[in-house]
């Protein structure tokens, strides 16, 4: 035996990993075909320095392992596409995962959306409109209640009502534009028997200081025929008179219809008893006149206190207060 010859093969040849080294490869060492009972343990081993990272593997597909079992497919090299993997963006519907897809399907593919500002604006406008309508209704109701309260307290007087307070120059309730309405002095009135005119008592405002006397007896009348009324409606009949320091009353008839309310001949001048000269004042009654000609009659009836002097009669548009 030649010295140094240990048999058919050297110890290097017995080294199961000798093929991994350069001298082992030079001596023809080959990787084992089995692998000491560990399937695929040797088939995956490569000599040092032979594997190139980023390059495709030499063995693709299924390899036969020990005991006749089929080895699973080798994984792809790091950094290289894998045939069994698909990126999310390659799925139907674009580059989103299941969560992104759910968002897109829920919002029509538009992704997340902000708050519904249009709906909020419409709601705000509706609230403002409701508030404005509520305020308008409240104001209207209040005005209606006030009007009802005024009617309950007094309301519009009936035609023929006479004054209960001292007359003023202001007009209201149906008063129209200032127009020239007719008026007469005492000497132009039509007088009933027993009623006459005089001018002894000072203070009368009629032309020449003339006034009607003898009116203080039942049945006495003074009549005024009014012409030229251009519009039917509400008017106030004014009467200039004097009482001797005490209140009086008379009756009023318009176009043949007597008023249920007496004409008030109150001592507004606060004259002393018997003093006609200091008792000159005026009063009014509310009437309804027709267009054209109307007849206004002042009379002393049963129950009236007619001790008064009359100096003039005139009209005013509307019901004066």
| Per-residue pLDDT reduced to its tens digit, 255-293 | 999 999 999 999 999 999 999 999 999 999 999 999 999
Q: What is the pLDDT of residue 216?
A: 94
Instruction: Provide φ and ψ at 157, rounded to 5°.
Output: -75, 160
pTM exceeds 0.85 for this model: no
Per-residue model confidence as pLDDT tens digits over 41-80: 445 555 555 555 554 544 444 444 444 444 444 544 455 5
Computed over every residue of the chain, the mean pLDDT equals 73
Per-residue model confidence as pLDDT tens digits over 124-169: 888 888 888 888 777 766 554 444 433 333 334 445 555 655 665 5
pLDDT-based confidence at residue 311 (cuts at 50, 70, 90)? very high
Instruction: Provide φ and ψ at 224, rounded to 5°.
Output: -125, 120
Q: What is the pLDDT of residue 124?
A: 84
Q: Helices (DSSP H) in the chain: which residue ranges? A: 11-14, 22-26, 98-106, 117-153
Q: What is the pLDDT of residue 129?
A: 86
Contact assessment for residue 212 and residue 239, using Cβ atoms and an 8 Å cutoff: no
pLDDT-based confidence at residue 312 (cuts at 50, 70, 90)? very high
Q: What is the pLDDT of residue 64?
A: 41
Over 24-61, what HEC string results? HHHCCCCCCCCCCCCCCCCCCCCCCCCCCCCCCCCCCC
Token digits for 198?
């005089």
Q: What is the secondary structure of 148-169 as a DSSP string?
A: HHHHHHT-SPPTTPBPSS---S
Contact assessment for residue 236 and residue 321, using Cβ atoms and an 8 Å cutoff: no
């Amino acid at each position: 035996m030649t010295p140094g010859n240990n048999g058919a093969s050297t110890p290097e040849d017995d080294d199961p990993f000798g093929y991994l080294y350069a001298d082992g490869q030079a001596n023809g060492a080959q990787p084992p075909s089995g692998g000491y009972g560990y399937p695929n343990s040797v088939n995956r081993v490569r000599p040092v320095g032979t594997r190139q990272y980023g390059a495709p593997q030499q063995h693709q597909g299924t390899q036969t392992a020990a005991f006749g079992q089929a080895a699973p497919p080798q994984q792809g090299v790091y950094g290289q596409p894998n045939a069994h993997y698909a990126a999310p963006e390659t799925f139907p519907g674009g580059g989103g995962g299941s969560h992104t897809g759910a968002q897109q399907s829920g919002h029509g593919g538009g992704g997340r959306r902000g708050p519904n500002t249009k709906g909020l604006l419409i709601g705000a406008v509706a609230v403002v409109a409701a508030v404005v309508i509520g305020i308008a209704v409240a104001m209207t109701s209040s005005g209606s209640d006030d009007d009802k309260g005024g009617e309950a307290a007094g309301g519009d007087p009936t035609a023929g009502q006479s004054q209960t307070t001292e007359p003023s120059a202001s007009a209201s309730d149906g008063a129209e534009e200032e127009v020239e309405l007719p008026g007469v002095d005492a000497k132009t009135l039509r007088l009933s028997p027993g009623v006459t005119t005089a001018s002894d008592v000072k203070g009368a405002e009629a032309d020449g200081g003339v006034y009607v006397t003898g009116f203080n007896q039942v049945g006495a009348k003074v009549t005024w025929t009014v012409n030229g009324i251009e519009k039917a409606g509400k008017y106030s009949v004014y009467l200039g008179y004097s009482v001797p320091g005490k209140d009086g009353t008379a009756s009023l008839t318009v176009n043949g219809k007597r008023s249920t309310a007496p004409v008030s001949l109150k001592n507004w001048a606060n004259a002393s008893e018997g003093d006609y000269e200091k008792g000159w004042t005026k009063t009014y009654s509310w009437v309804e006149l027709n267009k054209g000609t109307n007849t206004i009659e002042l009379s002393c009836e049963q129950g009236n206190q007619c001790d008064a002097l009359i100096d003039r009669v005139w009209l005013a548009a509307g019901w004066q207060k």
